[in-house]
Amino acid sequence: MGKKSTLFTALFFTFLLIACGSSSGTPSGSSLPDLNYVPAVPYSVKDYSLEPVSGKAAFAYFNDEKIFSGWNLGNTLDSWSSGSGHETIWGNPFVNQELMNGVKAAGFGIIRIPITWMGHIGKAPDHRIAPYRLERVSEVVEMAHKAGLKVIINLHHDGSTPEQGRDDGWLSISKAYKKNDENEKITYQFARVWDQIAAYFKNYGDWLMFESMNEIHDGGWGWSTEFKMFPNLQMDIINKWNQVFLDRVRAAGGNNASRYLIIPSYCTVPEHTLSAFFKLPEDSASGKLIVTFHYYDPYEFGIKGSRSSWGTQSDKQKVDNDFAPFKTQYIDKNIPVIIGECGAVLQLYNDKAIETQARQSRFDYISHVFATAKKYKLVPIYWDNGLTTGNGEKFGLFDRRTGKANSQDSEALIKMMINAVK
């Protein structure tokens, strides 16, 4: 048989083994407690007064609170090294109040604070999160709230799988869909981690939202051969994890019974978020779910920076074509949709003509993406990782120490985003 036939056969038998239950499935003598395990020592709860909540459905809340655009505190609490989350390891300073005030003053309504928890999580069965990590997250969350921003926190690089065959994080769908016992172990830890986050923040108002996970995939960035051949295998796990997330949050007490929860699909790819395989979790609360996807298309322009021009009619029409289905599938059913990450990198060239082209294209792209999001009532949240130099992805717009725009171009881009969604 040829290579393709061999691959298909191997995957087919893998599918049968998983579907029917293989010898690598849940061991009969599993040492893990069930998902409803209660630790002997209760999880930590922040000493924070129980705040009133609006009682509104998420769609009404976003409209009434004028949450039209947002900003990501990227490469900060999500940064990590040697298997442990940090705050400054990727070059950004410690978060301060000036930054939060600046983001609010610029006109953004919501901030997404990506968080990597790995390295601060203890062993089974409790998987206890280190108190100092929870406390620092709460300090940053409260800075944002003090500035007047709504806030999203999540599990970020805990699910990092940069390429096939390599897992940097513990929340590995690559392991989970291949072995039932790995799936059980990972799902159990996922439940315990969300038990603790939800318990710690249970008294915070509905301005604080939880997002279950970030860009979970098997190393193929949403388009691996295995996923394309049997998308239901991994999508079913995503659906299960989202349901576990919701159930653990709802059971954690305080305001969590009605907290707004943000639900991603596989790798937060737009097409997978519209897929029939993606199912929103069943919720005891009504109207509290928010859908999310990420958008950097085209990749060569948005992230890689290998394409300096953007802005043809075809380019613009693609954004329309990508966003329009979300209105029909979610917005028209009063389910809010956020574009949890979007943007385009700063491109620098030795050739001034090409650099000028890339600069103008970036202006055109970001303003068009935000305006098209408004057209379909989606909420775009810009990805800012603080970077403006070097060989990495340069998305930085704010000076992280002062809360001011880091350049005249950045100031112009921020104004374009805010004006586009007014």
- The torsion angles phi and psi of 284, rounded to 5 degrees, stand at -75, -20
- Is residue 211 among the annotated active site residues? no
Of 341, 355, 393, 411, the active-site residue reads 341
- Tell me if 283 sits within 8 A of 232, measured CB to CB: no
Q: Give the C-alpha separation, 251 to 40, whole Å.
A: 17
| Burial class (CB within 10 angstroms; exposed 0-12, middle 13-18, buried 19+) of 41 | exposed
- Is residue 215 among the annotated active site residues? yes
User: Among 368, 348, 366, 341, which residue's Cα sits nearest to residue 306?
Assistant: 348
What is the CA angle 136-137-140, rounded to 5? Answer: 90
Of 87, 215, 226, 393, the active-site residue reads 215
DSSP alpha helices (H): ranges in 79-172? 97-106, 131-147
* Cβ atoms within 10 Å of 204's Cβ, excluding its own: 24
Q: Give the C-alpha separation, 69 to 340, whole Å.
A: 10
Residue with tokens 């954690």: 252
Strands 84-85 and 110-113: unpaired
- Tell me if 193 sits within 8 A of 127, measured CB to CB: yes
**DSSP string spanning 79-96?**
-EETTEE-SSTTSPPPP-
User: Among 212, 207, 262, 243, which residue's Cα sits nearest to residue 56?
Assistant: 207
- Tell me if 364 sits within 8 A of 315, measured CB to CB: no
CA distances from 171 to 73, 177, 203, 338, 371 (A): 22, 12, 27, 23, 35
Per-residue burial over 226-249, b = 16 or more CB atoms within 10 Å of its CB, e = otherwise:
bbeebbebbbebbbbbbbbbbbbb
Enumerate the active-site residues: 215, 341
